[in-house]
């Protein structure tokens, strides 16, 4: 069962990558790589922010 696939095969939008489309225009590898990078940028903890949390 599962979802029906489109008759048009979409590929990853990154130049030089010909893998099958997975999500948001990327193949599975590039999609997850982008997600990991976004999470790292959101959770950057510096010494100043860590010490500021202790003062409360």
pLDDT in tens, 20-52: 999 888 999 999 998 888 777 666 556 565 555
Q: What is the pLDDT of residues 4-15, one digit of tens each?
A: 877 888 999 988
On whether residue 4 sits in a domain, the answer given is no
Say how far apart CA 20 and CA 18 lie, in whole Å: 7
Would the pTM of this model clear 0.75, i.e. be above it?
no
On whether residue 23 sits in a domain, the answer given is yes
On whether residue 56 sits in a domain, the answer given is no
Q: Give the dihedral sign, CA 12/22/42/39.
A: negative
On whether residue 3 sits in a domain, the answer given is no
Of 27, 20, 19, the C-alpha closest to 6 is 20
> Which pLDDT score is estimated for 20?
92
On whether residue 21 sits in a domain, the answer given is yes
> Which pLDDT score is estimated for 28?
93
On whether residue 1 sits in a domain, the answer given is no
Q: Which domain holds residue 36?
A: 9-50
> Which pLDDT score is estimated for 9?
87
């Amino acid at each position: 069962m599962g979802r029906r696939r489109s008759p048009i095969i979409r590929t990853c939008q990154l130049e030089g990558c010909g893998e099958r489309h997975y999500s948001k225009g990327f193949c599975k590898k590039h999609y997850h790589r982008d997600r990991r990078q976004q999470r790292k940028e959101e959770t950057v903890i510096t010494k100043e922010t860590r010490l500021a949390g202790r003062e409360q």
